[in-house]
Structure 1
Amino acid sequence: MLRLVNVMEILVRETIDDILRNYQEICKCERCKLDMAAIALNKLSPSYVVTAEGEVLLRVGSLKQQNKVDIIRVVTEAIDIVSKKPHHLREEN
């Protein structure tokens, strides 16, 4: 079955998870991670592909190296913004 996929969204979500592993003090709730992703994705160009289920990983891998530095920079900025002003009261993770 074919589907439309924004590969940039997959890459941003993976990068957020990778970076947050190194920071215990930053909230990792779903709301904060989605806010981080939204901020980052609004600063990056989308990369839509039409792909079959099994091909998604191949597409992600090919775009990952091309965009890695930009994604890390933008995601780091988004994490900084959300960690300073989350949209909820701070709760224990």
Structure 2
Amino acid sequence: MEDVVRDTLLTYKKSMNLACSCDRCLDDIMALALNDLPPSYVVNNAYSPYVRAQHQADRQGATNIITIIAKSAAKVSGSPRCEAYAQTKQHN
């Protein structure tokens, strides 16, 4: 599920109007989103593409993932905890 969330976040991050898109903020968004999604574990990486395909084929599931990522992005953008954003605010 982590790979699915990462790929989805990277695909849609420009359209989410993030306050900051540094690695720390993206990791925070991913962590929040993964906490709200059901886990999907794979012990053999050879099966990882099947998990990804399953989520891409399921339109409602894909929409749910995007919605959860967007909510997580809004929360992180509302209160970024990274140094990059803090430095930007100091210069304004």
TM-score for the superposition, normalised by structure 1: 0.76
Note if contact 1:20-1:26 (Cα within 8 Å) is conserved in structure 2: no
1:74 correspondence with 2:60 = no
Q: Does 1:22 align with 2:24?
A: no
Change (3 A) 1:19 1:87: same
Counting aligned pairs with the same residue, the percent is 30
Q: Which structure carries more helix by proportion?
A: 2
Aligned to 2:5: 12
The structure where strand makes up a greater share of residues is 1
SS of residue matched to 2:42: strand
**Is the 1:13–1:37 Cα contact (8 Å) retained in structure 2?**
yes
The question of 1:65 aligning with 2:57 is answered yes
C-alpha distance in 2 between matches for 1:64 and 1:84: 29
Alpha-carbon RMSD: 2.0
Normalising by structure 2, we get a TM-score of: 0.76
